[in-house]
Amino acid sequence: MRTDNRARDQLRDVQIQCHFTKTNGGSVLINWGSTRVLCTALLEQATMPFLTGTGKGWLTAEYAMLPSSTGSRKKRETLKKDGRGVEISRLIGRVLRQR
């Protein structure tokens, strides 16, 4: 039995709320049980210099956890990102860029 009383093979309820924030290109709030994931997109007309004139764009990803999101307090990220967060950001970017 899990801490939330689910059976080992029982999935958590998933809820998806589109347009969660109104001030950017797009957003979605995803709820898996007590886990919350907020994804937002920002659209800019600028592109990387090496892509100028190719008709292609560039996609980057950022990942962060809130300080109270873990059992023990996670330090607030400032300018210095932790290694795990940097790698997860890179992985998200790579996956989204694949076609």
User: Are 93 and 71 members of one domain?
Assistant: yes
DSSP state of 42: -
pLDDT digits (tens, 9 = 90+) for 8-32: 888 888 999 999 998 778 899 999 8
User: Are 31 and 57 members of one domain?
Assistant: no
Strand partners, 56: none
User: Are 52 and 82 members of one domain?
Assistant: yes
Domain count, the chain: 2
Q: What residues in the chain have per-residue pLDDT under 50?
A: none
pTM for the whole structure: 0.65
What pLDDT was estimated at residue 75?
65
User: Are 29 and 8 members of one domain?
Assistant: yes
Domain assignment of residue 53, given as a range: 44-99
User: Are 24 and 51 members of one domain?
Assistant: no
User: Are 49 and 97 members of one domain?
Assistant: yes
User: Are 37 and 53 members of one domain?
Assistant: no
Helices and strands in the chain, H and E counts:
1, 3
CB 77 within 8 A of CB 63: no
User: Are 48 and 9 members of one domain?
Assistant: no
What pLDDT was estimated at residue 80?
64
User: Are 48 and 37 members of one domain?
Assistant: no
